[in-house]
Amino acid sequence: MPRPTARAAAGSRTAPAPAGLRGVLALGGPSLPLLGFLARLPAALCPIGTLLLVNSREGIGRAGAVAAALWLGQALGGPVIGRLADRRGHRPVLLTACGANAAALAGLLAVILAGLEPAAPVGLAVVAGLTVPQVGPLARARWARLAGEDKALLGSALSLDTTLDEVGFVVGPALAGILAVTVHPASALVLAAVLILVAGTLFALHPSAPGPLARGGARGGVRLWSPGLALLCALAVLQGAAWSGANTGVNALAESVGEPGAAGPVWAAMAVTSSVAGLVTVARPGRAGPVVRLRLSIGIQALLALSLLAVGGLWGAAAAVAAIGLAVAPHLIALFALVERTGPAERVAEAMTVVGSGLIIGQALAAAVAGPLAAAHGHRAAFALACAAAVASAVTAAVAAREGRFEPLRDRVPSSK
């Protein structure tokens, strides 16, 4: 007798599962969040691992170019992988992406260690970014399928998933730094490739993996883009810009006081408090809808971000980013809950990856501006950019985020776009 999938089990429920962590674990099983965490950890390991390795051999100039190429590839490849996952199913797409990504990371590692011309590592970094399996967005798409119409349970699942993201972005950079010092600068990329092959493959084969969802060929199917999804993508870009500006300011401040190594622990304070806020949201989801929670969390984040302008030392920076972190997870939880609502069911993975790419694009664009600003005018200039992005996001949400804007596309008439 064939084993029932988690999706089939979810579809057969006659009564809604309890919300909170217990309900989420009953929905997908404890292996789904564990594999999702391990399989997405390479996304946090690779950027800092690449920076550390290239910097140790070629200097920070080339390191920044390679890391930027990795970001660019990931931003461009994410929606493509999401689209393919909707059309072909998660398993074949993830298995292919995991193998290709591990091979690209191995190639990137080889050309860096061989000291080849800059074009080779930059080109392979783009390929490595293009093939990132997009475990985070696809995990959110799975939770959306499993939860079905149970919005309380979906909120708890997305809260847990966002918290795992935050924990990963604390553990990943810290682990990469420890491995670089205690083992070898290349060890973070080696670990990332191994995790992609092992945990990524197991995540792909998990019973929760949906089959093909999208209908129609290249000229048909359900329309993806809507004013609501465009708004959510714009908010994601602004969020990424706020992060990147603040991160650049922290690094510039640490450099100016002669303690560049302190930038990592200071920045980790945001992820720690964000993780705590995410866990609280899982335990106490509350009754407010995602639109209200989105506007409230973005507004609180903007107010807290203004404290960066008064920062003059590392302790002050740690306190400021820790405070901002309290609003980050609630913001992202509400954001991706609205992505699930707004995007069509047949293209939910693509919608998740499009908004995820918005976060990456915002970080990359702000980094390109904040770096020169900090070099010319000090850390407060980068912090000012972060504040501007946070305030712009809050104003945009206050003006444009309304319940009617996030009508589900799955209920609309399909178009050719």
Separation CA 80–CA 73 (nearest Å)? 11
Whether residues 277 and 352 share a domain: the answer is yes
Q: What is the DSSP string of 31-68?
A: HHHHHHHHHHHHHHHHHHHHHHHHHHHH-HHHHHHHHH
Specify whether 190 is located in the same domain as 273. Answer: no
- Same domain assignment for residues 203 and 266: no
- Please list, in sequence order, all residues whose beta carbon lies within 8 angstroms of the beta carbon of residue 286, skipping any fewer than 6 positions away: 293
Q: In terms of domains, do 150 and 276 share one?
A: no
Q: For residue 412, is it left (φ>0), alpha (ψ between -120 and 50) or beta?
A: beta
CA 158 to chain centre: 12
Sign of CA dihedral 84, 90, 91, 94: positive
Residue 6, in any domain of the structure: no
- Give the contacts of 206 (CB within 8 A, at least 6 positions apart): 6, 31, 32, 35
Quick one: angle between helices 227-256 and 348-377, nearest 10? 30
Specify whether 103 is located in the same domain as 170.
Answer: yes
- Overall pTM surpassing 0.75 (yes/no): yes
Here the CATH number for the domain that contains residue 101 is 1.20.1250.20
Residue 5: DSSP 8-state: P
Q: Encode pLDDT of 359-390 as tens digits.
A: 989 988 888 888 888 888 999 999 999 999 99
Q: Verify that 234 and 196 share a domain, yes or no.
A: no
Instruction: Answer yes or no: is 216 within a domain.
Output: no
Q: Give burial (CB, 10 Å; 0-12/13-18/19+) of 376.
A: exposed
**C-alpha distances in Å from residue 308, one per residue of 14, 55, 295, 363, 372:** 50, 28, 21, 18, 18
The token pair that represents 31 in the structure block: 């292996």
Residue 115: Cβ within 10 Å count: 10
Is 164 in the same domain as 240? Answer: no
- pLDDT tens digits, residue range 236-274? 999 999 988 998 898 889 888 888 778 778 888 888 898
Across 144-153, 178-187, 304-313, 398-407, the highest mean pLDDT is recorded for: 304-313
Taking 60 as the threshold, does the pLDDT of residue 5 lie above it?
no
Counting residues of the chain whose pLDDT is more than 70, the rounded percentage is 90
Count of domains in the chain?
A: 2
Same domain for 269 and 182, yes or no, is: no
Which residue range(s) make up the domain with 331?
A: 225-409
